[in-house]
Amino acid sequence: MKRRGRARARSLSNSNSALLVCERAKSKKRPDANIILMQGVPMIEGKRYECCHEAGHAVARILIGDTIIRVCVYPNAADGPGERGGTDSKAKERECRCGGYTRNRNEDPFDTRSRIHLEPGCGECMDYLKNRIAALLAGGFATEYHAPQKHRPDDSQFDKRAIDQEFAHHNIDGPERSTIETAGEIRARALVCQEREAILAMTQSLVESNGSLTGMEATQTVRKHFSGDTLYLNL
């Protein structure tokens, strides 16, 4: 118990430290996404902001254990309301001692459908849900911190809709939802700060690849730039 208590305390400390570093970075005038623009990629360069958003989702999905299938940004998408990219992933399977589980429907690596059952009174199940919420929020926070000049809260409307569906599926509402959602937000903010290098590297990779990365390419990028610490996700 003492070891777990120390881990939680360290997790909170790391989250606060990561957020402090990120807040300082936001206060400085820097180019969008802090990336040096490269020549020879004009087609998707104008979508760097969208690439940063999807990079936030993808890095978060990889770190919570999901398998990325594809990360993409639509080069011809209008600069307004609507989906402008997507991160397809297959959930990591789990069996909890309480009876909760995540089970993929089949062995098809491109089938993203899963059956998920969580026990409301189980701390492990609720930690799992908090991380799923964090992954849905990570796209918006990635642009808030790493592309602040262009950041627009409304761009996360589809992510918020997915969060609503997540809570509805598990019949969680009211104060319990608020508590879980707040915890997910804290984890998402800590993640996009702690994994700044991974998010910016994936943003650049998306720009250079004209807005499309395979799951293997995305995962290799994260492995190369991962900070090495996931205590802020309680993993």
Confidence of residue 77 (pLDDT cuts 50, 70, 90): low
Are residues 172 and 180 in contact, defined by beta-carbon separation less than 8 angstroms?
Answer: yes
**Domains recognised in the chain with CATH numbers:** 2-233 (1.20.58.760)
Which tens digits make up the pLDDT trace of 118-150?
A: 998 999 999 999 999 999 999 999 999 999 998
Which tens digits make up the pLDDT trace of 98-116?
A: 999 999 988 888 888 999 9
- What interhelical angle do 48-63 and 196-208 show, nearest 10? 130
Distance, CA of 50 to chain centre: 14
Are residues 170 and 193 in contact, defined by beta-carbon separation less than 8 angstroms?
Answer: no
Paired tokens of 223: 């492995």
Closest CA to 233 of 8, 56, 6: 8
Confidence of residue 21 (pLDDT cuts 50, 70, 90): very low
Per DSSP, which regions of 113-183 are E strands?
Answer: 114-117
Residues 127 and 226: their CA atoms lie apart, in Å, by 21
pTM: 0.82
Cα dist. 156→17, 57, 106, 136, 140 in Å? 25, 11, 30, 9, 6
pLDDT above 80: residue 26: no
Are residues 61 and 55 in contact, defined by beta-carbon separation less than 8 angstroms?
Answer: no
Query: Exposed, middle or buried: residue 40 (CB in 10 Å: 0-12, 13-18, 19+)?
Result: exposed
Strand 67-73 vs strand 94-95: parallel, antiparallel, or unpaired?
unpaired
Residue partners of 203: CB distance under 8 A and separation at least 6: 33, 35, 48, 51, 52, 55, 146
Residue that the structure tokens 């969680």 belong to: 172
Which tens digits make up the pLDDT trace of 188-217?
A: 999 999 999 999 999 999 999 999 999 999
- What interhelical angle do 196-208 and 123-146 show, nearest 10? 60
Three-class secondary structure of residue 67 per DSSP = strand
Are residues 113 and 104 in contact, defined by beta-carbon separation less than 8 angstroms?
Answer: yes
